[in-house]
A and B are shown apart, each in its own frame.
Chain A
Amino acid sequence: MLAALVSHFTRRLMVAVPTMLALSIVVFIVLRLLPADPLGMMLPPNATNAEVEALRHTMGLDRSLLVQYGIWLGQVLQGDLGRSISSGVPVTQLIAHTLPATLELSFVALFLALLISVPGGLLLYVLHDRRGELVADAALVLLISIPGFLWGIFLMLGFGVYWPVLPFSGRFSSDVVAAGPTGFVLVDFLLRGQFGHWLDALSHLILPATALALGFSPLIVRVLRASLLEVSHEQYVTVARLRGQPEWRVILRHMLRNAFLPTLTLIGVQFGFLFGGTLLIEMIFSFPGLGNMMVQAVRNHDLPLIQGISLVFCAVILLINASVDCLYAVIDPRLRTS
């Protein structure tokens, strides 16, 4: 079973390789449309033309687009994403520092989103064809209309400014030093037994993660309700009812488990939505993650950094999609034999 899973996963990853290559071409070409000259950022304003040309040559910017892409791809394959123009630090190093923070934020947000949306979906299903349906329905549409970054602003105002119960800036308090093997602070502090610091890091995560989760969960609620309605006509549900099982047991034991499969698909497909959402949330909460760095890089026209971060974003999403595919096999026994 495990071996089959691993081989399935590797096969999925093999398929993702050409996709990744194609994505890198798209990113490369789009960024070369740039009207502003990236060299403008690197040279002092009084640089002579000869100096500009010299730098252009050392960076390979005077060659054809194809050659530039070839050089860049060769370096990427050796694990070299170039150096950030604005800070001079290697891009891989910058990403290695910030990626764990963003992943941690996304996973906590995903967990919170499930915590919100499973009861929400059940509630909407129970309300189906009852008097409250129209109101609940309109409320759901209203919630879908509020993007995550607005939730971020609401939460920050509510729980950070007016009723200051939670911190809303950074990843942990300034007196806390994070130095761990994994880079995921929640794991690191636990491993080292620093529970005070762990609570501190968790409290910093609550507001941004909730904002992300609130932006994401209405989508899950909608699909969960639809699939609950669909399975409610299945024979096994009728059989369970005829066996005299209480309605809550029919819903939780028999319907929810089956209705969860389409929901899982949605989560896989829409994970990019959640993961991309970290961009603005991190900016609003000054969270030192990949998204915040991306916004800075975009403002500074820092090409190597933008390219590197975009690729990492895509790679994470392809990985998640492959993992969700494999999760299917674990959850749905019908898929296991094949």
Chain B
Amino acid sequence: MSTLPISTRTWRPGLSPLKAAMRASPKAAIGGAIVLMLVLIAIFAPYIAPNDPLEQDLLSPLLPPAWAADGMAQFPLGTDSLGRCVLSRLIFGTRIALWVGLCAATGAMLAGCVLALIAAYFGGRVDRAIGYLVDLWMSFPPVVLSLILMVGLGTGVGNVILSIILVDWTRFCRVVRAEALKIRRNDYVTAARLMGFGHLRVILREMLPGLVPLILTLFSLQIGIAIIVEAILSFVGLSVPADVVAWGVMIADARSTMQEAIWTLIAPVVGIVFTVFGFNLLSDGLRRALDPRQRARN
């Protein structure tokens, strides 16, 4: 869906969809292409990776990349301190990054949007209570809160996802609530209520559709944030068990050997930055392409 042409200009027949997307929003198109590529890598990881990411070859630790003088063709990006293939670990790391990013962003989106819609629709005391909760939550530095949660919940992929949801639902709630309040004031919402539609129907059928562009933008942004948080938690050693391949773990492992084997550090760093860049680019492009105010300027 990422390469769908979100056209802000008139549709010109004869233009291929790809070119149309590039024209409408080059950032969203490039970001979408990066994301699509990463998803494919994650799905087909076992077929792409040259080696088993967990298999240790203790006879050849810290091998340089294949193009260096004493590199081996079997390990294109060299090996880490336990003789594991860096490229294979990089490829398999995509899986955990995308999985955590997707699940955490979906969870944060659902929790944040439900509370935001309830706050904006019912207003008054409900709104104040939810607003207070958001303010309270945001007085925690995000890193500190997720660390405390990981201590409380214990390590594991599921708990990483849960802790990111519990930290980041506020971002959705705050931004979506502000926008939902604007939509709430529209006449068509009042009309729907006067026609006697139920609360749920007014929220879902009248208010939600207008919020979809904003939610999509935040969703893409949140995936990037979740991937960084997961890397941070892995780096501190609080995220995943040792037999799970994650980029943060690779960085933490590489720190001790970075003076003699810089490539073991560069690979996961590039992986994280590239992935987050893709999602941020997509989010930024979507924001511009879907914002009616920007549309008027074009």
Contact = CB atoms under 8 A, between A and B. Distances in A.
B191 interface: no
Interface string A131-152: 0001001100110111101100
Interface in A286-338: 294-295, 298-299, 301, 306, 309-310, 313-314, 317-318, 321
B175 interface: no
Interface of B: 26-27, 135-136, 138-144, 147-154, 224, 228, 231-232, 235-238, 251, 255, 258-259, 262, 265, 269, 272-273, 276-277, 280-281, 284
> For A32, A138, A301, which residue has the most chain B Cβ atoms within 10 angstroms?
A138
Contact of A161 (B141, B144, B228, B259): B259
B26 to A, nearest CB: 7
A126 interface: no
A100 interface: no
Contact of B152 (A31, A153, A154, A283): A31
Contact of B232 (A142, A147, A273): A147
Contact of A19 (B26, B135, B277, B284): B135
B139 A272 contact: yes
A101 B161 CA distance: 32
Nearest to A277: B143
A317 B138 CA distance: 10
A226 to B, nearest CB: 11
Given A153-B258, A272-B141, 7 more contacts: A23-B140, A26-B140, A141-B284, A153-B255, A272-B139, A279-B144, A294-B144
Contact of B147 (A134, A154, A298): A298
A314 B140 contact: yes
A275 B139 CA distance: 11
A27 B145 CA distance: 9
A146 B238 CA distance: 21
A298 B251 CA distance: 19
A309 B140 CA distance: 12
A294 B150 CA distance: 13
Nearest to B274: A145
Contact of A317 (B139, B228, B277): B139
Contacts of A295: 147, 236
Interface residues of A, number: 49
Given A141-B277, A306-B151, A280 B27 contact: no
Given A30-B152, A31-B148, A153-B265, A145 B273 contact: yes
Nearest to B154: A35
A310 B152 CA distance: 13
Given A138-B281, A313-B144, A146 B273 contact: yes
Given A272-B139, A301-B151, A149 B232 contact: yes
A33 interface: yes
A16 to B, nearest CB: 8
B38 to A, nearest CB: 13
A36 B152 CA distance: 9
B288 to A, nearest CB: 9
B27 A141 contact: yes
A54 interface: no
A22 B136 contact: yes
A149 B33 CA distance: 27
Contacts of A272: 138-142
Contacts of A150: 269, 272-273
Contacts of B154: 35-36
Given A272-B138, A317-B141, A298 B151 contact: yes
Interface of A: 19, 22-23, 26-27, 30-36, 134, 137-138, 141-142, 144-147, 149-150, 153-154, 157, 161, 269, 272-273, 275-277, 279-280, 283, 294-295, 298-299, 301, 306, 309-310, 313-314, 317-318, 321
A276 B277 contact: no
B152 A142 contact: no
A5 to B, nearest CB: 23
Contacts of A314: 139-140
B142 A149 contact: no
Q: Which residue of B140, B150, B269 has the most chain A CB atoms within 10 A of its CB atom?
A: B140
Contact of A153 (B140, B149, B232, B269): B269
Contacts of A161: 258-259
A27 B235 contact: no
9 contacts: A19-B139, A23-B139, A30-B148, A141-B280, A150-B273, A153-B255, A161-B259, A272-B139, A306-B148
Contacts of B135: 19
B141 A157 contact: no
A48 to B, nearest CB: 27
A294 B145 CA distance: 12
B139 A318 contact: yes
Contacts of B139: 19, 23, 272, 314, 317-318, 321
Contacts of A153: 251, 255, 258, 265, 269
B184 to A, nearest CB: 24
Nearest to B155: A35
A144 B143 contact: no
Contacts of B142: 272-273, 276
A294 B228 contact: no
Nearest to B265: A153
Contact of B236 (A137, A280, A309, A317): A280
A30 B139 CA distance: 16
Given A30-B149, A30-B152, A276 B258 contact: no
A31 B154 CA distance: 11
B37 to A, nearest CB: 16
Contacts of B237: 299
